[in-house]
């Protein structure tokens, strides 16, 4: 029953997100809408160059990827909205090593960018979802990953 409720919740979220995006062009209306639905914050002037990707099939753990540039204030709003915690590379190094076979191969989803970024993370066991937010304070580039377990 718990898995069915989780699946229905994800299906509802996908419907709300529009299930549509353009992984090759930034800042399309659909990408910005997906950003708002996935982060819970408005894609205002502090958010630029939004790329989006989703991988979802019934019965398989869905995931959503966003890459964007954000001001430190916008990053703080996402961290607060999603209740993320800053992670330490030495203590929590495994969180940087993603092993999902369905991650996008787009140039904007770049492991080298994550390697030089600060990671904010939360494992929401109640809703069976993990949130990852990488932010490079030097470039303001961000990558946001949501994985349903």
Round the CA-based radius of gyration of the chain to a whole number and report it.
14
Q: Measuring CA to CA, how many Å separate 145 from each of 24, 39, 94, 96, 100?
A: 17, 10, 15, 12, 11
Q: The pTM is what? A: 0.84
- Among residues 82, 69, 81, the alpha carbon closest in space to that of 136 is found at 69
Crossing angle, helix 72-82 and helix 29-39, to 10 degrees?
50
Which of 8-17, 59-68, 89-98, 108-117 has the largest mean confidence? 108-117
Question: What is the predicted pLDDT for the residue at 122?
Answer: 96
Instruction: Give the domain ranges of the chain.
Output: 2-148
Identify any residues that bridge with 10 across adjacent strands, giving them in sequence order: none
Q: What pLDDT score was predicted for residue 105?
A: 86
- Give the three-class secondary structure for 11: helix
Instruction: Check residue 88 and give its pLDDT.
Output: 87
Closest CA to 121 of 61, 89, 48: 89
Q: What are 7-28's pLDDT values in tens digits?
A: 555 555 555 444 578 999 999 9
| pLDDT above 50 (res 4) | no
């Amino acid at each position: 029953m718990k898995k069915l409720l989780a699946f229905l919740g994800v299906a509802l979220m996908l419907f709300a997100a529009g299930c549509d995006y353009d992984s090759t062009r930034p800042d399309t209306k659909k990408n910005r809408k997906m950003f708002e639905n996935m982060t819970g914050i408005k894609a205002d002037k502090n958010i630029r160059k939004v790329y989006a990707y989703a991988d979802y099939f019934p019965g398989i753990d869905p995931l959503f990827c966003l890459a964007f540039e954000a001001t430190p204030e916008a990053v703080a709003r996402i961290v607060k909205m999603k209740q993320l915690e800053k992670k330490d590379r030495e203590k929590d190094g495994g969180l940087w090593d993603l092993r999902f076979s369905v991650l996008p191969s787009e140039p904007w989803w770049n492991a080298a960018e994550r390697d030089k970024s600060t990671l904010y993370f939360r494992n929401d066991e109640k809703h069976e979802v993990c949130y990852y937010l990488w932010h490079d304070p030097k470039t303001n580039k961000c990558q946001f990953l949501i994985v349903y377990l």
